[in-house]
Amino acid sequence: MTAIDSALQPAHGTAPDHHAKPQGIGRWLFATNHKDIGSLYLWFAFSMFIFGGVLALCIRAELFRPGLQFWQPELFNQFTTLHGLIMVFGAIMPAFTGLANWMLPLMIGAPDMAFARMNNWSFWLLPPAALLLLLISFAVPGGAAAAGWTLYAPLSTQMGMGMDLTIFAIHIMGVSSIMGSINIIVTILNLRAPGMTMMKMPMFAWASLITAYLIIAVMPVLAGVVTMVLTDRHFGTHFFNAAGGGDPVLYQHIFWFFGHPEVYIMALPAFGIVSHIIPTFSRKPLFGYTSMVYATSSIAILSFMVWAHHMFTTGMPATAQLFFMYATMLIAVPTGVKVFNWIGTMWQGSMSFETPMLFAIGFICLFTVGGLSGVTLSIAAIDIQLQDTYYVVAHFHYVLVAGALFSLFAAVYYWFPKMTGRMYSEFWGRFHFWWSLLWFNVTFFPMHFLGLAGMPRRIPDYNMQFTDFNTLASVGAFCFGLGQLIFFANMLHSLRHGRPAAARPWEGADTLEWQIATPAPYHSFVEAPDLEVGENGRIDAMHGGKHH
Amino acid sequence: MRPLRALAAVLAAFFGVRRGRAANVDRQLRFADLIAAAIILVALFVGGLLLLVSWLTAP
Ligand code: HEM
Ligand SMILES: [Cu+2]
């Protein structure tokens, strides 16, 4: 609406009252502005990150030494399950959607997201889902879901009503992320400013677009499989009940058909972000932009063909094991090429190491470690030893924490000036990076050794010989957690008291969002600009375009 | 000629590397050709892998 009325305004007219920023709680409850909704998503994701982090610390406290210290095993299992679910569906995914909301319209020259009201709804579905998962489900008889975030049958077909609440929460979050994705796709396909062609647009837009398609393809699969669990639980079906002619392994096939593309849903946007930050701080264009676009799309397609690498121990025929093993190894090729492209971008660049760049380089190094352990795990003969050990926990935290989470930190530091009009504290930003890098590795690197030595995951107690590494990991986890408070304090303080930021605080930044005022005007690009664009969204010239 | 070019583009995507010059030519490809090429190549990829692994595990 706003975009349309304001386009009808006389060219130099000041914005009339009804265009002023809405005030008070209504601004957030009825938000349709992509920046407000983006902020809501980001704050929501951050609070979920804190909740999930507290659960992780509950886990690590128990594992500080052998024996049962704090929690009964049932409660411990609820902690692991909810930690995983909350981090994946509450923290990482909404954070990427929030960034897409904030930045996509600015990067492609659109006035807002395509469906502004649906955007409001896709955000406001999340808090109730989080309430169901977090608060209510711990309070119901039997406690929260305790089957692990994978919710494998037959564990999930037993259990109390905490499982039903979780299933319901997953349905709601699925609907939310599908609506968010529809918005992203339509915005990118239809609202690009003249000149911003597909093969020129920023990598972050490409990554968001492809991720959105993945979400639309696999969230219904997840919704379907948890619904089958629900009907098994309450309506007398036997999908996963062997006694009734069903098959629990079927659950795993369906779940991982969702689950593997899901890991790319959490990785591709990270690739997109890094593909802006590395060029900016290397003061060089992205090396191999076209290759990146091609590789991202083919990774997305191939990610549907590798799901059973999570199931090597279920007794598959050797033929199937080899198939999924080779397919998994092959998909690592385009991913590896990306790493080379980022390195090629940095090669002979005039680099500087501000906080976003530090996190982006940290991402590249540590994501590669996670990728390496991933390829190791894809070897069926090795996975049969390592499946369900701490080696796997180490692997996926390298790709999720040092991958997805670090890229999110990088993005927030990078775009913070554009979002708020102020600079964050560079000192505390760098401190946050080095602190996180150190303690992340102290926490998770020893888990490789624990796994190789045979320590199973999802257990509250362990044998004596695992004590040292577990103690180390627990100390690391608490220090890592503390470091995130530094981030929080830095953001809060800089929001009010940071030094005012220039329109283009990063010398090498050349995409569209840096061409407009800082902080980004509440209604940006109410009239589309005419653009001359180079690869990866580099703006060579901009004519017209109006904001207020 | 064009279908062949679409196949080459999709193959390059599987590998993850495409030269800038080749990519400029790709821009003239039709979307339908690309989709068809992708479907064919994915089928070949799966089929080829299946053949390979069944040959490897044959008694
Ligand atoms: C402060 C950072 C974090 C710490 C210390 C931490 C620690 C842990 C621990 C101890 C486990 C349990 C392993 C087990 O017993 O099986 C776990 C599981 C898990 N974590 Fe984290 N984690 C952190 C951040 C994250 C983030 C950011 C994500 C997601 C993006 C994540 C995703 C998961 C998942 C999916 C599981 C598996 C849950 C399950 O077994 O069902 N974690 N984490
Ligand atoms: Cu996988």
Structure confidence by residue, pLDDT tens digits, A279-331:
999 999 999 898 899 889 889 988 999 999 999 999 899 999 999 999 999 88
User: DSSP characters for A398-433?
Assistant: HHIIIIIIHHHHHHHHHHHHHHHSB---HHHHHHHH
Length of chain A, in residues:
548
Active site residue A474: no
Instruction: Please list every residue in chain A whose beta carbon sits closer than 8 Å to the beta carbon of residue B10.
Output: 298
Residue A327 near chain B (CB below 8 Å): yes
For the question of residue A461 being annotated catalytic, the response is: no
pLDDT tier, A34 (very low <50, low <70, confident <90, very high otherwise) = very high
What is the C-alpha to C-alpha distance for residues A520 and A512, in angstroms, rounded to an integer?
11
User: Which of A291, A292, A378 to substitute to test the interface with B, most B CBs within 10 Å?
Assistant: A291
Tokens of A218: 């696999």
Q: Which residue from A289, A323, A296, A298 is spatially nearest to A308, judged by alpha carbons?
A: A323
Query: Domains in chain A, ordered, with CATH?
Result: 2-9+34-546 (1.20.210.10)
* pLDDT for residue A389 is more than 50: yes
DSSP assignment of A331-390: HHHHHHHHHHHHHHHHTT------HHHHHHHHHHHHHHHHHHHHHHHHSHHHHHHHTTBH
Ligand 1 probe mutation, A49, A83, A474, most atoms within 8 A of CB: A83
Asked whether the beta carbons of A442 and A398 are under 8 A apart, the reply is no
Q: Which residues of A touch B38 (CB under 8 A)?
A: 301
Query: Is the CB of residue A521 less than 8 Å from the CB of residue A107?
Result: no
pLDDT at A13 over 60: no
Phi, psi of A299 (to 5 degrees): -60, -40
CA distance A303 to chain B (A): 12
Ligand 1 proximity of A53 Cβ (cutoff 6 Å):
yes
Strand partners, A533: A539
Query: ipTM, 2 decimals?
Result: 0.84
Closest partner residue to B49 (CB to CB) among A290, A295, A323 is: A323
The answer to whether A135 contacts chain B (CB < 8 Å) is no
Q: Give the pLDDT confidence of A66-121 residue by residue, as tens digits.
A: 999 999 999 999 999 999 999 999 999 999 999 999 999 999 999 999 999 999 99
Q: How many helices (H) does chain A have, and how many strands (E)?
A: 19, 2
CA gap A231, A152 in Å, rounded = 15
* pLDDT, position A210: 96
Distance (Å, whole) CA A470 – CA A461 = 11
Q: Cβ of A333 under 8 Å from any chain B Cβ? A: yes
Phi, psi angles (nearest 5°) of residue A419: -75, -40
DSSP A192: P
CA nearest to A297, candidates A359, A390, A213, A233: A213
Mean pLDDT of chain A: 92
Asked if A334 reaches chain B (Cβ–Cβ under 8 Å), the answer is: yes
- Residues of B with a Cβ under 8 Å from any A Cβ are 9-10, 12-18, 20, 23, 26-27, 38, 42, 45-46, 49-50, 52-54, 56-57
User: pLDDT band for position B1 (50/70/90)?
Assistant: low
Query: What pTM was estimated for this model as a whole?
Result: 0.90
* A301 CA from centroid of ligand 2 (Å): 13
Q: Identify whether A71 is a catalytic site residue.
A: no
Return all residues near A73 (Cβ < 8 A) that are at least 6 apart. Answer: A460, A461
User: What's the domain range around B46?
Assistant: 2-56
Q: Residue B26: its chain A contacts at CB < 8 A?
A: 290
Q: How confident is the model over A349-373, as a mean pLDDT?
A: 95
Structure confidence at residue A23 as a pLDDT band (50, 70, 90): confident
Most distant pair of Cα atoms in chain A: their distance:
76
Whether residue A9 has pLDDT greater than 50 = no
Domains identified in chain B, total number: 1
Cα A3 to the chain's mean position, in Å? 30
Residue A6 has a pLDDT of: 41
pLDDT > 90 fraction of chain A, expressed in percent and rounded: 85
CB contact under 8 A, B18 and A291: yes
A335 among known catalytic residues: yes
Give the tokens for residue A82.
């909810």
What pLDDT sits at residue B35?
A: 86
| Residue whose CA is at the smallest distance from ligand 1 atom 27 | A401
C-alpha of residue A289 to centroid of ligand 1, in Å: 33
